[in-house]
Structure 1
């Protein structure tokens, strides 16, 4: 793990309160087409970082986390997701590249809120303000409607 990635993982640990993992994530740089296909199911999207379980944290090749605060904050955000997966005890971290059991909708939303809060705090600690996570304000889980016969 590069010094930069180790430092960003340290930020994620410090700001999230999660313990240091036994193994750091593997940061994988990918072209934007990877995110469109994998994270956004073939639809164009603004995803620039992604953690899908396992050991890999993906970051868009267009980003320069060494020289750009926003880019490094995205990596901190994704490292928080890695720490969440480790804390949950995902056995997929031992050898796989995805969740064995996907987090519930509610869990995913909670994790996103936490990761965005850490990302915002990371940015603020550098004396900057960048609005991140605003898209999460109206996100909710769709639950099946109750059977009208059971009302």
Structure 2
């Protein structure tokens, strides 16, 4: 793990409240087409980072986290997802599995909101403001996610 990624992991730990993991994630730069195919199921999208389980987290190779605050914030966001997985015990899964038990929509939305909140706080600590995660403000889950009686 490079010094930069170790520092960004430290930010994710500090701002999220999760404990430092015993094993850090591996940051893997990938071309945009990787995200289109893997994270967006073949549809064009704006995904710049993706944690899909295990120890790897993927970032768009066009990002420059060493010299760009937004780019480094994307890495911090994905590291929060890694920390969430470690806390759930899902970081050790193999064969492309991201979860031991499929999460509910409510859980996924909660995890995203937390990662965006950490990303925003990280940016604000540098004295900047970027409208990060504003699309999450109105995200709601379908009624079928509600507990059954």
- How far 1:145 moved relative to its partner? 9.6
- How far 1:142 moved relative to its partner? 1.5
**Per-residue CA distance 1:110-130 (angstroms, 9 max, x = gap):** 001100000000000001001
Match of 2:27 in 1: 27
Quick check: 2:105–2:145 contact (8 Å CA) kept in 1?
no
- C-alpha distance in structure 2 between counterparts of 1:134 and 1:77, whole Å: 14
**Aligned residues between the structures:** 144
- C-alpha distance in structure 2 between counterparts of 1:14 and 1:47, whole Å: 25
- How far 1:94 moved relative to its partner? 2.4
- How far 1:104 moved relative to its partner? 1.8
Match of 2:49 in 1: 49
Higher alpha-carbon Rg: 1
Match of 1:12 in 2: 12
5+ residue gaps, structure 1, are 147-151
5+ residue gaps, structure 2, are none
- C-alpha distance in structure 1 between counterparts of 2:55 and 2:79, whole Å: 10
Work out which of the residue numbers 87, 91, 94 in structure 1 matches 2:92.
Answer: 94
Match of 1:85 in 2: 85
- C-alpha distance in structure 1 between counterparts of 2:101 and 2:7, whole Å: 29
**Per-residue CA distance 1:65-95 (angstroms, 9 max, x = gap):** 00000000000000000000100112xx225
- Please report the TM-score for the alignment, with normalisation by the length of structure 2: 0.92
Match of 1:108 in 2: 108
- C-alpha distance in structure 1 between counterparts of 2:65 and 2:112, whole Å: 20
- C-alpha distance in structure 2 between counterparts of 1:95 and 1:109, whole Å: 21
